[in-house]
Amino acid sequence: MNVKENPTDFQIEFAAPGFSKEDFEVSIDNDILHVSGEKSKEKEQEDDNYSRKEFSYNTFKRSLKLPASVNTEKEAQATYKDGILKLQLSKKEAEKPSNRKRIEVK
């Protein structure tokens, strides 16, 4: 997992070759990002006197506590291409510092 912080967002990448976009479940619950992937495959081959079955099952789960600066109210973006799952999470707008006001003592 790679995490990159930019001025306006966070970009998170997961290497997950061999999956398809339907194999992923991505959610945010109480400021925790949950990412999981599950893929199963069954292959059967029959010849003259024998049959062979192969099963393949791949799964992963990752959870990550999000920083307070992530805007969980804004829609997150997720894309999967060339074996890489990319997430983009927006940051909250920075609070503007209050203007300092000088008060004269009389």
| 42 to 8, 17, 32, 54: CA distances (angstroms) | 43, 18, 33, 6
pLDDT of amino acid 95: 64
Where exactly are the structural domains of the chain? 2-90
pLDDT of amino acid 102: 82
Task: Give me the CATH code for the 2-90 domain, please.
Answer: 2.60.40.790
- The pLDDT tens digits along the chain (106 residues) read 899 999 999 999 999 998 999 999 999 999 999 999 999 887 777 777 777 778 788 899 999 999 999 998 888 999 999 999 999 999 998 766 667 788 888 8
What does pTM read for this prediction?
0.73
Please answer whether residues 39 and 25 qualify as being in contact, where contact means their C-beta atoms are separated by less than 8 angstroms.
no
| 4 to 8, 94, 98: CA distances (angstroms) | 11, 18, 29
